[in-house]
Structures are given as C-alpha cells and as structure tokens.
Structure 1
Amino acid sequence: MDFLVLGPVEVRESGAPVRLRGMRRRRLLALLLLNAGHAVSMDVLVDELWEDPPASARHQVHNAIRDLRAALTGSEGAGLITVDVGYRLDVPADAVDAQRFTDWVRAARTARREGRDAEAMRLLQAAVDLWRGAAFADIDCPLVTAVAAGLDEQRLTAVEELMELRLAAGETGSLVAELSALTSRHPLRDALRGSLMLALYRSGRQADALAVYDEGRRLLADELGLEPGPRLRRLQTEILADAPQLQRRTPAPGRLPVVRSVRDNYLPRDLPDFTGRAAELARLDRALDDPGAGSPRTVVIDGMGGIGKTALAVHYAHRRTADHLDGQYYVDLHGYSPVRAPLAPEEALGVLLRSDGVEPGSLPAGLAERSAIWRSRLAGRRALLVIDNAADAAQVAPLLPGAGDTLTLITTRRKLTAMDGALSLPLGPLAPAEAEALFQRVAGDTRTDPFLSRTVALCGHHPLALRIAATRLRDRPSWTVPDVAARLRTSGGRAGFLRTADRDLMSVLALSYAHLPVEALEFTRALALHPAAVHDIPQACAATGLAPSDVERLFDTLLDHNLADEPTPSHLAIPLLLRDCAHTVTLPSRDTAPQLTAVA
C-alpha cells in the first residue's frame, strides 16, 4: 500500500486507489501521516479538524478512525494503533512518497558531492517526478498546511539543483522552454532565473539572457525594493563580457563537473586565536565520521560557564561548513543570561525559520506548527545547526531536525540527560600545555617563563580566566608573568583581577548558581569554605551536618549542573574558580527564589 501526499492525498493498493469516504477522513489520514510512527493526541486531532469543535467531536474522530482502520485492513506493514493519548499510524518508511522524495534527494546530494553527477541527476529527476501537484493539495488543516509549505520549498530547491546538473551535462536549448515556464511561475527565484539566463546564453541568445536579468531586477525592485543577489549580478557581468567560463563544457564520460551552491551562513565569527581542544576535536571527528553514526547527528557540549563551549561549537561548525552546504544556522537560547529571560522554543524557531527565508507574516503562532515547518525544511538537506546556551532539554527538543543529514551542536551548562541518541561531550579545563599556549597567544609573548605554569594553574586552566589575565598582561607593558601570578595568589585577588570593564569571570560563573535550589547553594558554600579540595560522603556530612542520603543527592545536583567534578566514585571536588565564586555570591533566603549577584 502506498500513501501519496505530494499532490492530493491518496492511498493506493497495488496501484489501484483505495476509497476514502469524506474529507474529514482524508484530513485525519494526513495528520497521522505527518506523524507516522508517533502518537497523535486526541486534542491535536480535534483542534486541527475543527475551528469550533462540536460536543460530538471526539465521537466523530472515533468513527473516522474506525473507517480508516477498515480501509487500511490487509495493508502489509501498515497499522492504525490506539494508544493512551490518541492514535498512531505505523507504515513502512518507503510507503509514503514524501519520505521517498526526501531519501532520493539526500542520496542525490551525496552522489553530487562525490562527483557522481549522472547518478545525482537520475535520483533528482526520480524525486521530482513523484510530485502530482502541491503537497497535501486538498487538505486545509493548519498543521498540514504549514508542513506542506516546507515540502513545496524542498521540491523547488530540488528542481533548481536538477536544472544546474542538466546544464552542467550539456543541455541548453532543450531547457529553455522548461526554465522559462518555471521562472514565470516563480519569478523571484534567483537560481531558476540564473539557469534560464545561462541556457539562453549557451543557445546563442545573449540579448535574451540579459533581458531575463533586467526583468528579474525590475520585479525585485518593484515588489521588494531589493537588487538581485551577488550570484545573479556576477552572471550578468560574465554574460556581458562573454566570459570563457560560461561556455558549454563537454564533461568526461561518466563524470560531470560538480556544481555546488552554498546557502546562507549565520554562524558567528570563529575566534582567530582559537587554541587547544585537540582531543575534543579529534573525538568529534571520529564520532561524526563513523559510518554507523546515523543521521541526523546531535552533539551536546556541556560544561561550566566560560569554559569555551560556544567557542568550540562555532570553531568546529566552521570546520564542517564544506560538509553541510545546505545552510549553517545559529540561535542563542539565552539559557544563562544576566539581562534577559531564556528564549522560548517558538521564539527560537521564529529566528531559525526567518533565517531560512520564511517571511515573518507567514509564520504560524503555535510551537507545534513552527517545529513541523522547521523539520520539513531541513529534511533531505545537509545543514548545520548550532544551538547555543540551552537551559534544558525541553527548550531544545522542538528545534531538532527529524530527518536529513543535519549536524546539530548544542551548548549548555547542564547535563541534558533527556537527549537520547546524542553524543555527549563534557568540556573541562584546558590541558596544561594548551592553557599555556592560549595565555601566550593572547598576551602576544611566546617567551618561556618559569612562572607561566603557575599562572595558568591559578587561572584554573579556564579559557575565560586565561583570556582576561593574558589581556591584562598584554595591556600593561611594565608587567611580567610573575606580576600576574602574584595578583592571582588569593581567592579575593583572583576575583578582582579577573574582572575588567567588559568581562567579569565571577559574574559569569555566578549565573550557574542562580539555577540551583537554595539547599544546594548552602551545601556548595559550606564545602567551598572547607579547606579540603576533595570530599567523600562522610567528610561532606561532617562539613555540612547533612545525612548521607542528602549529601549523595546534592552531589548529583552539583555534578548535573557542572559545578563540581567527580575525580573518583563518591568523591566530589569543586574547582578552584568555582570555590572562589561560592565565596562571593549572596545566599538567598530559603523563602525566596535564588537571586545571586557577584560581589567584590
């Protein structure tokens, strides 16, 4: 049995259509297919099927499910299952044409990257041929409509890539009529207009190619107040100059030239003086290059404040850009911000969808709808997503892709234990040699100094602390490394020295304490004031007066928030800088929520 959604919704058994009585049953099937393999709650079904649900809505859904189940009886591998919250439709992955489309487009892009353009062209053509009209053409449920828009965008992108491949294969005149019709239907698509210009030029119609450019420029100016993109402007210049690179090429048999287009890149700037993390970078490469790693791939980078999570994620994302040419996206969730509340998932999805070209006025309001559109737009693409500063797994989950070759890098100060299937990369202090190299690079002084190892140790091998200390040394030409070490010797000295007009290490670290319950704060303060660096459970009980079971629970809380280390089982160590911070925070009343501020 085949389920067809790339056009009007249909079900076919051995090529023959299966009758689905009534539009409500078709809408119900569409909603279940959108979530194939996953439960859809009765509340969602009712809300999507009626603007103003009647009292009998649930009963009508039950009846429609009964009819659907009867229509699907005998379908090999398909089943409509009743679950606690609603219903789940189980179907083979290749039984839905949208899934076949996504798989073939993904395979075509892999073939194209590997230089197998003839195979890529065949796969893209097969994928495009699956379409019989607009996706879910006869279904008007809000959620379905939103996902359909994403699928239609994927189709257009696949058509654009197919046109590029056919041009690279030597087709010209035969494409002009096809590209003219496509450009007429989608006049603001630069890629289609550019392919039409190139096809006309290679057909000896230079004037017509330039006229197509002028038409597009006028449309953009009149409707959007914009100029054509740099790629189209460059093509116009090359056509005017009869540039040699525009001439038709005759590819070698069996291998066509690889044509790559890079979508928008929203990644923050990579640090020009990024230093260290060799072990972590190597681990990421090994894990993500493993053929058995699966897709989409997700990495959670967790660690204390200022430890370099964002720097590592952004640096690695830039290293992987060439492997993810279908877009590089970034969103800061502000999970630990001193000036604003964490970004709600629907707000974050608004940022990402606008980055991917969705007009603000076209964005649905609901979280489920935005999440579905985002997943649909990423499906079948090799994209890269950096989700920075996550507060918890609930804030991240709606942003994750559901399919495709997307790589997602998440940074957080907490252990996200609910992120099933993700690679966990805990980030600790730099290795001593890496810490020394970073200090010297920022300070601009590579001379050997016997006090250097002591100085970076007093910074806890902590990247932000090292940067602040090295910057202060760089900006005070009369100072030496021993002068810096002297100012870092005491807890109070470190707190004051590692604070500038722009950056304050203690304030950065204190943001993590604001997420702890009061009893965990009191427990941390008591251990931080104790002279011992490492505590086992009996020692912690003696220092705090708590029962062993409470100590074990609070041990776990601190470890989950990356506010302590566990050098050996049942032993807790609070790093040097976190002990300093615990000395400088104001403990809130047990009757109020934690409101921590760093004090001098």
Structure 2
Amino acid sequence: MTKKVPIPREGGNEVNDQLRYRALGPLSVQRAGREVELGWAKQQSVLATLLVEMNRPVPMATIIEAVWHGRQMPRDARNAVQTYVSRLRRLLEPARGVGRPYRVLVSTGSGYLLRGDPALVDLEMFERHLVAARKRHQHGDLPAAWSQLDLAFQLWQGHPFTGLDGPVVEAQRRRFADLQLTAKELRAQIHIDRGRTTEAIAELTDLVALHPGREHLSALLMLALYRASRQAEALAVFQDVRRRLADELGIDPGPELRELHERILRGDVGMARSTLIKRFVRRNDLPADVIDFTGRRQEVVRVLGDLPSASTGASTGAATVQVIDGMAGVGKTALAVHLAHRLAWNYPDAQLYLDLHGHTYGRRPVDPSTALEDLLRALSVPAAAIPDGLDGRAALWRAELASRRVLVVLDNASDTTQVRPLLPGTARCLALVTSRHRLAELEGAGHLSLDVLSPPQASALFARIVGEDRAGTERDAVQEVVRLCGYLPLAVRSAAVKLRNRPVWTIGYLADRLREGKRRLAELTAGDRGVTAAFGVSYRNLTREQQRMFRLLGTCPCRDFDTSTAAGLAGVGLETAGALLEDLVDAHMLQELVPGRYRFLELMRQYAASLGCGVEPEGGQEAVLVLGPYPTPSTSCPP
C-alpha cells in the first residue's frame, strides 16, 4: 500500500475537518453542514477517483482512464482534467486566501492527491463499523454488535456512486455491494442469536432468493426455521440447495450445510441453545501488505475491474484465476499481496498464501502434491483424511472449496504443471498466481505482465524508503539513481536501503558509484536478496541452450538486435535462434520491442555480460569479441 500523506494542520485544526464525503449513494460533499454543488458527472468522476485513494497520489493517466475509460476521450483530456480539478479546488476551498496554496486537492509529480480525514468518508466508516460489529459478535456482545451494524446501515443512501460510471467506481460498487451483503448476513445471525427468528426468517428468505449461491445464507435460514419449530421447512431449504447445485454445477452442498442437515434430522437439542452456527475456522495467511507500496494504480484498477463479484460468480462454474508475471524483482509478489488485502472482504472463509518456491535461491520448487497437503491442512482437513496421490488431493481440495469463498495466493510458481492442480474449481474462489514465466497455458485465466516502474513511481519509491526530507534536497540525483537502477523495484529498493543505512552518503555520491557500470550489480546486491541473486535464480532455471544464448547476447555490443544477429552469435540456424529468443522473452529475461527485434533491460544486460565473458570457447564468442567495446546507447546493430 502506498504511504498516506499526513493531513496538514493550520492553527491547531485540520484545514479540511469540515469536509464530509458521501459515496454510498450519490456522491456528495458537505462543508460546515452545507451541501457543495459538485458540477457535472465527469467532474464528479475526477473527485470520486481521488476519494477512493484519499491521502494517496493518483497519476493523471489513472484519472483520465477513470473519467473516460476509453470512450469518446477528447484529444485534450489532460487539460480537461486540469479544468475539473481547478473547479473542484474552488468548490472545496472557497475561502482560500489569494496567493496561498491549496491544501485539500493538491498537485503531485504525476497527478493529484485529495487530503482528508478518512473518518469523514462514509465508505471508510461503513467498513470500520462492520469490522467492529464482527469483533463484538465474536466476543458475544450482541447489543454492541447490533449497534455497530445499525450505524453502518444508516450510512447507505443508495447504490455507491449513483449516476457515475467507469472502472474505478464500478470496482468500488461491486466491493461495497458484497460488504453490504456480508453485513446483512451478520445482522441475520444476530437476529437468530437473540431469539428473533421471525425477523431473521423474513430477511433471510429474501436474501437467499437474491443470492442462491451463497450457502451460508441458506444455512442461517435453515437454523432460523429450526429454532422456530419449522423443521420440515428447514429440511426443504437443504433439498432446494442440493437440487440447484446438482443441476447447475454437478456438485453436492458443502460441509457446513451437510452437517447442519444431519443435526436437524437428528433433532439435535444443542442447536436450540447454541448462539452460533459452527463455521469452519477462518484463516488468513497473507503476508503483511508492503507499507511503502508505490505505483501500480492502473494495474490494480485493471485487475479489480476484471474480477467478478464473489457473491454472484458461482453461476459461471469456472474458477477465477489471475496470473501476474514479470522479470525478477519487478514487484509481482508485492502487487499480488496488495491485491489480496484489497479483496479479502470478498472471500471471508479463508485467505491463504503459499510460496511455491519456483524461483527461490537454494530451494527446489514445491511439488504439487505437497502443496495440496499444505493447502488442505490450512482448511483444517485432518491429516488422516488427506489422500496420498496427487489426483485424490486435487479432488478433495476442489470439494472443500466448492461451498466456500476462499482467496489463495500461489506465489512464485515455476510453471503451469505446478499450478494447475492447485486451482479452485469454482468461481466463488479466487487464485492469484505469480510467476517469472508467462503461464499462457492456464485456460480462462486473466494475465497481467508487469513492467518496471515509471520514472516518477521509481523516484517516489526511493523517496519513501530514504525519507522525503532527504530525497527532497537532491531531486536530480534521485532521478539519476533510479535511472541507473533501470526503474526496477528490487534495484531501486536495494539502492535506497543501502543509502538509508549510510547516513554520511549523499544521493549524488550513490549515483556516482552506480555510474561505474562494472560495479553497479555489486552495489545493488545484499546477500541472497540482491539483484544478482534474483537474476541468478532465473538463469539457473533456463535450459543449457537458453543459458548459452543468454550469455552470448550479453557480449553483443548492440543496444538491440534481431534474430539474424542472435543466430550469428550462437552459430545456430534462424529457426533455432528465434525459438531461443522467444523462450527468453517468456522467461522475462529479454524484451521484444517489435516482432523480431529484442533488447535487454540494462541491468539484465550487465548480468548477461558478466556471465558471457570468456565462457564460450567453442561457439560464436570469437566473432563477438572482434566487434570491440560497447557503443553509445543510441547505437543499434544493423538488421
């Protein structure tokens, strides 16, 4: 998650403490209790985009996409956004003194940022009340839980961002619709726990009809009916669910419904006293979100916009899978974990994380069978119930997930063979997969290939690590350092951490050290977590033929090259050279500029060169050496 900007204070009070934002319905702003006229829909879309990222910078490109989302975009979209921002500033701060800077809606290096107190935003407060309600309920404090839910529901005035459209508001609309359903589910549970079965049955009957794929709602309805001495109707609910699942998905109800059904058939007297339905333990294995998560706003919006709502996705039958691939150190895991935290509310039954060690120094990739055992144990499946073979474990894994909403992060995958048995079998679950290889063979999956950061994003990351004050005194040097790091997140982070641990160094001094190309990789290396180590794991996972081509390309003095050049370097035919080049592209160790023309990221070229010198006595090495020293960056080999 990107670092939030502190809210400025003026005269001891927050300068915008009277601005209250509402988005659970039509977007509105109140200043000192009075409504602010926000203008046209596109102007409101700009504000909405900034509001959902309050106290975090939003790039201009993200705002433009949110407002026009590829439809009828004007040629001067940037100027249009600037006009909307100017109008919003006057509306939000009408009393700003002449010549004084704006304090609420401020410019950043690449876009804008909305400052404010999240406690004055209904979106934020709804989530806070819901979290508080769940905690009070778990501790058995039913009146306090009910009070928190009541406060949460009072915030709703209609569909979120009514009247607006675009990827940002649509993603928020889906997210809060699911949160609202979760709150209604909890409200029905509290009704049952307090003995108000009539109210619970009335509400749950409507909810089950609207969301037939949400099995826990059916379980709550069965319990409420049983508590109301309507056993036959409770059993009929189970039969309806079983028939629908068999017809639509070819599966049986999940363990929760099956257990409840059996207890009702037995006339279990404990169910008349128990305050809670037994649910499987909710488990959250997610690593902590990166505190200085920077950039990737467009990627986050794209993924969130592509995912179906967890509450409605069951009818599609297919699993929801999103693959994030990219070169070593580009930030795949950080993005996947960030997304998982953003999406956790949609998958309340469990949020699981598993490192598959497909590209880990000193580790073999995790066998799929072993991975399935770990995942099943995370769902509290007893060891004795876990089959020995891969197929049996995969089948049990899919069966366990059939009635649950689970998010699983499969990090650092080696290939499709390792991943495929681990994927859920229902669209109610989500798998986020990261890999250094393009896993194109995963049918129906979404694919996102990460590139390096933009220069402003890389500079922002560097500044957050070393400190804004320190970076602000040498902005030109910061830009030079991140350029020399190739804008690769791992390299930028390594450089920033080194500088942070050396208070006597200036940023300019670090830039001077990085300019010495032969020592640059050494400067960006810290044990087994540096750039060289990360690249080394990718290199070792190549075949011998791919490794040789990679080394030879590192000795080429050209900034970019084509298939003929590669074939001449390696002494192989054009077809073989082309296949090897494409393999290196798929492994994200080479970039394809246009069809048939390739280049290295600069740091990767230096790594390849360090491996290539003096290593190829039998092939094309002699032909490479006669070409002389590296030319200037603008030089390119002839086709």
TM-score (structure 1 length as normaliser): 0.59
Q: Distance in 1 between matches of 2:594 and 2:269?
A: 65
Please state if 1:276 is matched with 2:306.
no
Match of 1:400 among 423, 447, 464: 423
Q: Deviations over 1:402-441 (max 9, x none)?
A: 1241111000111112101000100111111111110111
Q: Which runs of 5+ in 1 are unaligned?
A: 1-108, 137-146, 161-176, 185-191, 200-230, 233-259, 592-600
Query: Does the CA contact (< 8 Å) of 2:356 and 2:365 recur in 1?
Result: yes
Q: Which runs of 5+ in 2 are unaligned?
A: 1-177, 185-202, 213-217, 223-235, 619-639
Query: What does residue 511 of structure 1 align with?
Result: 537
Q: Distance in 2 between matches of 1:457 and 1:436?
A: 9
- Where in structure 2 are the equivalents of 1:190-339 lying within 5 Å? 196-198=273-275, 263-289=282-308, 295-339=318-362
Please state if 1:427 is matched with 2:450.
yes
Query: Does the CA contact (< 8 Å) of 1:534 and 1:571 recur in 2?
Result: yes
| SS of residue matched to 2:592 | coil
Q: Distance in 1 between matches of 2:459 and 2:585?
A: 27
Query: What does residue 129 of structure 1 align with?
Result: 239
Q: Distance in 2 between matches of 1:159 and 1:277?
A: 46
Match of 2:205 among 118, 125, 131: 118
Q: Distance in 2 between matches of 1:404 and 1:449?
A: 47
Q: Distance in 1 between matches of 2:260 and 2:337?
A: 29
Q: Deviations over 1:47-105 (max 9, x none)?
A: xxxxxxxxxxxxxxxxxxxxxxxxxxxxxxxxxxxxxxxxxxxxxxxxxxxxxxxxxxx
Q: Distance in 2 between matches of 1:271 and 1:426?
A: 20
Residue identity matched to 1:338: Y
Please state if 1:354 is matched with 2:456.
no
Q: Describe the shift of the 1:357–1:543 C-alpha distance in structure 2 as closer, same or farther (beyond 3 A).
A: same
Match of 2:462 among 424, 428, 439: 439
| SS of residue matched to 1:535 | strand
Q: Distance in 1 between matches of 2:512 and 2:261?
A: 66
Cα deviation, residue 110, structure 1: 9.8
Match of 1:153 among 249, 255, 271: 255
Q: Distance in 2 between matches of 1:484 and 1:562?
A: 28
Q: Distance in 1 between matches of 2:496 and 2:514?
A: 12
Cα deviation, residue 328, structure 1: 0.7
Question: Which region of structure 1 is more displaced relative to structure 2, 524-533 or 365-374?
Answer: 524-533
Q: Distance in 1 between matches of 2:438 and 2:352?
A: 23
| SS of residue matched to 2:549 | helix
Residue identity matched to 1:383: V
Residue identity matched to 1:556: E
Q: Distance in 1 between matches of 2:295 and 2:459?
A: 10
Residue identity matched to 2:207: A
Q: Deviations over 1:283-320 (max 9, x none)?
A: 10221148899552101111111211111101100000
Query: Does the CA contact (< 8 Å) of 2:313 and 2:427 recur in 1?
Result: no
Cα deviation, residue 514, structure 1: 1.1
| SS of residue matched to 1:269 | coil
Question: Which region of structure 1 is more displaced relative to structure 2, 566-575 or 516-525?
Answer: 516-525
Please state if 1:412 is matched with 2:435.
yes
Q: Distance in 1 between matches of 2:259 and 2:453?
A: 43
Please state if 1:549 is matched with 2:568.
no
| SS of residue matched to 1:506 | helix
Query: Does the CA contact (< 8 Å) of 1:111 and 1:120 recur in 2?
Result: no
Query: What does residue 507 of structure 2 align with?
Result: 481
Query: What does residue 377 of structure 1 align with?
Result: 400
Query: Does the CA contact (< 8 Å) of 1:111 and 1:117 recur in 2?
Result: no
Q: Describe the shift of the 1:261–1:524 C-alpha distance in structure 2 as closer, same or farther (beyond 3 A).
A: same
Query: Does the CA contact (< 8 Å) of 2:413 and 2:419 recur in 1?
Result: yes
Q: Describe the shift of the 1:308–1:182 C-alpha distance in structure 2 as closer, same or farther (beyond 3 A).
A: farther
Query: What does residue 118 of structure 2 align with?
Result: none
Query: Does the CA contact (< 8 Å) of 2:281 and 2:380 recur in 1?
Result: no
Query: Does the CA contact (< 8 Å) of 1:378 and 1:404 recur in 2?
Result: no
Q: Distance in 2 between matches of 1:112 and 1:262?
A: 20
Query: What does residue 492 of structure 2 align with?
Result: 466
Cα deviation, residue 379, structure 1: 1.0
Question: Which region of structure 1 is more displaced relative to structure 2, 581-590 or 316-325?
Answer: 581-590
| SS of residue matched to 1:270 | coil
Query: Does the CA contact (< 8 Å) of 1:334 and 1:343 recur in 2?
Result: yes
Q: Distance in 2 between matches of 1:130 and 1:311?
A: 43
Q: Distance in 2 between matches of 1:321 and 1:305?
A: 26
Q: Describe the shift of the 1:567–1:152 C-alpha distance in structure 2 as closer, same or farther (beyond 3 A).
A: closer
| SS of residue matched to 2:476 | coil
**Aligned CA-pair RMSD:** 3.6
Query: Does the CA contact (< 8 Å) of 1:510 and 1:585 recur in 2?
Result: no
Q: Describe the shift of the 1:403–1:531 C-alpha distance in structure 2 as closer, same or farther (beyond 3 A).
A: same
Cα deviation, residue 526, structure 1: 1.6
> Across the two proteins, how many residue pairs are aligned to each other?
389
Residue identity matched to 1:287: D
Report % sequence identity.
Answer: 35
Query: Does the CA contact (< 8 Å) of 2:286 and 2:351 recur in 1?
Result: yes
Q: Distance in 1 between matches of 2:307 and 2:208?
A: 27
Cα deviation, residue 363, structure 1: 1.3
Q: Distance in 2 between matches of 1:272 and 1:467?
A: 13
Cα deviation, residue 180, structure 1: 9.9
| SS of residue matched to 1:451 | helix
Q: Describe the shift of the 1:550–1:152 C-alpha distance in structure 2 as closer, same or farther (beyond 3 A).
A: closer
Query: Does the CA contact (< 8 Å) of 2:423 and 2:431 recur in 1?
Result: yes
Q: Distance in 1 between matches of 2:585 and 2:541?
A: 13
Question: Which region of structure 1 is more displaced relative to structure 2, 360-369 or 543-552?
Answer: 543-552
Cα deviation, residue 324, structure 1: 1.0
Q: Distance in 1 between matches of 2:280 and 2:365?
A: 34
Q: Deviations over 1:429-478 (max 9, x none)?
A: 11111111101111113415112212101111111111110001111111
| SS of residue matched to 1:531 | coil
Query: Does the CA contact (< 8 Å) of 1:111 and 1:119 recur in 2?
Result: no
Q: Distance in 2 between matches of 1:410 and 1:343?
A: 14
Cα deviation, residue 502, structure 1: 5.8
Q: Distance in 2 between matches of 1:496 and 1:476?
A: 16
